[in-house]
Structure 1
Amino acid sequence: MISDIHFVMKTWSARILLTVTVITVPVARGSIQNDSVQHLVSNSATAVSVAKPATQPTTGKTSIFAVVGTSVILVYPFQTQKTLLTVWNVDLINGTQCHVSYLSTKNISDTNCSENINWLSRPDQDYALLIKTVQIFNEGLYKCSISPDRGIAIHEYTLTVLVPPQVFLTYGSNRTAVCVAAAGKPAAQISWGPKRDFSLVNETLPNGTKTIISTCHITSAEENNLTCHISHPAWNNSRVLLLESGRNDQHLKASKMPLLYSIISLLLGIILVLLFIYLARLLYGKQKEADTSKHPETISRPSIQENEMEPYATFVQKENVIYDTTFDASMGKHFPAGLSPST
């Protein structure tokens, strides 16, 4: 690419040298000829000097505006035939630089810009530049430089990106109304109707957009007529927001809704925990009954042992009674008359 540009510059230098030679030779010859010849040489020199290539570049400047998210076409600004070399130099606001170029003699196109910036169509048919989707960082300077047959021409486009703000009007604290135009570029303009005193807060966000917060005091009688007027370059018409009556009550209800949702969620959580405990106990009881039905001997064993021990216990008791009776009879023989073993 650089060698091709050097070749073009050498071509221009040769043309300039040839022109100076053509002018100088007739003037030298005219110095030794008569007046009529000198007059002819002078006219010839004038005619040749008109065809001399322009050495000073011609420049032009244009300012354009585009809304973020839209597409922009930077038209080819020169009304001329095909050029030797066409270059779009891009200098963005964030410091990024790139170019899009086309060399017609070899039909070569070159670029180091992102895919969002490129030729509108084929550079051999149209030299216009296309920005597909405008973003905030696309703001900057776009310079078109061409090398036609008669010299160099430059045209600059200064692109400014507009970001429409998000707007809303609501009640504030202590009987105030708050009008907000958030994340706009440039900052939006806010006014109130009817006209009144108000305060403004201007906040700049990291992406370069601005948020405007306007606050004014109101009375109950003014609620029905209070309006907020917001204007911005990205809009054709201003936005008018009305502070509707009864909206304060809606605002208070809306502020209580999170508390109500929290209470309902807590009650539902308690109910779910109790239900889980109940189901767990119910399932545990059924499982226990199922285990009992599968192993009945573990439960009935004590009763079986008691039944088995009952005859033995009765036998021992009867043996003890017989023993006691025999003992009493034998002992009665050794006691004096009138006495018994019991006494």
Structure 2
Amino acid sequence: MHTIVLLSIAAVSGVTGNNRVSATVGNSSVLVCSLKSNTTLVTWKISPKTGGFCTLGYRADQNKTDRTNCSDSVNWKFRPDQDPALEIRQVGIVHEGNYTCEVVATEGNFHRTYHLTVLVPPRLTLHCDDHGNPVCEAEAGKPPAQISWDLESNSTPREEVHDDGTVTVVSTFTAHGTNVTNTICVVSHPAGNQSKSIACHPSKNGFYLHVTIILCVLIIITFTAVICYFKLHSDRPCRKLDPPETDLTHSPQDDTMEVEPYTTYVQKENVIYNSVSDLTVGQNLPQGLSPAT
């Protein structure tokens, strides 16, 4: 008895569950909605991942449509009284989200929900790096692309996530014992697969670069050693040679030579003194007397 009741409710409400659909960016997408007999109201309710909620409505009794907060790229595909399908023109990442169609008819209410996923095909680029290895890039894809090589490689892809939700995948082909690498990069993506081939020759720039680096290091070491050598010798304190030690003893002749100037000086002073004394005495004697000689 309970099972019969549940089936009746499901038939009346028209629950169909969620439907996952995808659309490639830049294309158009159409979401269908079943038109029932004696339909009185059709409503599309749109909840994008980014942006605001919007609705499209149609009332059969007034033969009138209305829209709330929906962009011009989202609209009825045909006349809603004939086909209530929804069309999204120039699909973009902003259109990703949930779309629900609700139909009110005399036989019951029906609704269908779509979860729209927007696919962004990556841009495939292939080039050779400085070491002569092929590098494959699947730029700005959504979801992330899968990269493989036609030859066996030890490459581990790396991913870079962008602000708009797209992802760039980079893979470098590494193979041992091959001088010339001619290989094909294969990019697998829900929006379509791509492939490119390239032939890379091992570059001699790496060898020359290593030699140049080694020579520069040796030159710097040599130059530094020379500077340190000259700096070490120039900073040594300069010391004057000490005068040779002389014997402190001296002969009596040296004393005589040192005393003679003084003796001569004293003798001259005495002569001057005696002359002055004689002159003074002569001037002070009484008249008629002369100093004794």
Q: TM class, shorter-chain normalised?
A: 0.5 to 0.7
Change (3 A) 1:217 1:244: same
The CA distance in 1 between the partners of 2:156 and 2:9, in whole Å, is: 62
Q: Which residue of 2 aligns with 1:75?
A: 32
TM-score of the aligned structures, taking structure 1 as reference length: 0.53
Greater relative contact order: 1 or 2 (C-alpha under 8 angstroms, separation 6 or more)? 2
2:45 matches 1:89: yes
Q: Which residue of 1 aligns with 2:144?
A: 187
Alignment equivalent of 1:239, drawn from 190, 194, 200: 194
The structure having more radius of gyration, on CA atoms, is 2
Q: Which residue of 1 aligns with 2:62?
A: 106
C-alpha displacement at 1:68, in angstroms? 0.3
In the alignment of these two chains, the number of paired residues is 198
**Residues 1-37 of structure 1 deviation map (CA, whole Å, 9 limit, x = unaligned):** xxxxxxxxxxxxxxxxxxxxxxxxxxxxxxxxxxxxx
More helix by share: 1
Change (3 A) 1:162 1:70: same
Q: Between the two proteins, what is the percent identity of the paired residues? A: 34
Q: Structure 2 regions of 5+ residues with no counterpart?
A: 207-293
C-alpha displacement at 1:218, in angstroms? 4.1
State how 1:271-282 maps to structure 2 within 5 Å: none
The CA distance in 1 between the partners of 2:180 and 2:46, in whole Å, is: 51
C-alpha displacement at 1:199, in angstroms? 2.2
The CA distance in 1 between the partners of 2:202 and 2:122, in whole Å, is: 23
Alignment equivalent of 1:126, drawn from 83, 87, 90: 83
Contact 2:31–2:87 under 8 Å retained in 1: yes
Alignment equivalent of 2:122, drawn from 161, 165, 185: 165
Q: Which residue of 2 aligns with 1:149?
A: 106
Contact 1:58–1:154 under 8 Å retained in 2: yes
The CA distance in 2 between the partners of 1:92 and 1:223, in whole Å, is: 50
Q: Which residue of 1 aligns with 2:281?
A: none
State how 1:201-240 maps to structure 2 within 5 Å: 201-218=158-175, 221=178, 223-235=180-192, 238-240=193-195
Partner SS, residue 186 of structure 2 = strand
**Residues 179-226 of structure 1 deviation map (CA, whole Å, 9 limit, x = unaligned):** 100000000000122111102211111111000011132468363432
Contact 2:24–2:191 under 8 Å retained in 1: yes
Q: Which amino acid aligns with 1:103?
A: R
Change (3 A) 1:222 1:65: farther
Q: Which residue of 1 aligns with 2:263?
A: none
2:10 matches 1:59: no
C-alpha displacement at 1:176, in angstroms? 2.5
The CA distance in 2 between the partners of 1:69 and 1:161, in whole Å, is: 10
Deviates more, 1:192-201 or 1:126-135: 192-201
C-alpha displacement at 1:80, in angstroms? 2.3
Q: Which amino acid aligns with 1:111?
A: R
Contact 1:175–1:219 under 8 Å retained in 2: no
State how 1:37-48 maps to structure 2 within 5 Å: none
The CA distance in 2 between the partners of 1:168 and 1:93, in whole Å, is: 30
Contact 2:23–2:117 under 8 Å retained in 1: yes
Contact 1:120–1:129 under 8 Å retained in 2: yes
State how 1:278-293 maps to structure 2 within 5 Å: none
Change (3 A) 1:176 1:81: same
Q: Structure 1 regions of 5+ residues with no counterpart?
A: 1-48, 253-343
Change (3 A) 1:120 1:247: farther
Contact 1:171–1:248 under 8 Å retained in 2: no
TM-score of the aligned structures, taking structure 2 as reference length: 0.62
Q: Which residue of 2 aligns with 1:289?
A: none
The CA distance in 2 between the partners of 1:227 and 1:163, in whole Å, is: 22
Q: Which amino acid aligns with 2:59?
A: L
Q: Which residue of 2 aligns with 1:304?
A: none
**Residues 97-126 of structure 1 deviation map (CA, whole Å, 9 limit, x = unaligned):** 100000101111010211010111222222
Q: Which amino acid aligns with 1:58?
A: G
Partner SS, residue 180 of structure 2 = helix
Change (3 A) 1:219 1:101: same
Change (3 A) 1:244 1:174: closer
Contact 2:181–2:201 under 8 Å retained in 1: no
Partner SS, residue 199 of structure 1 = coil
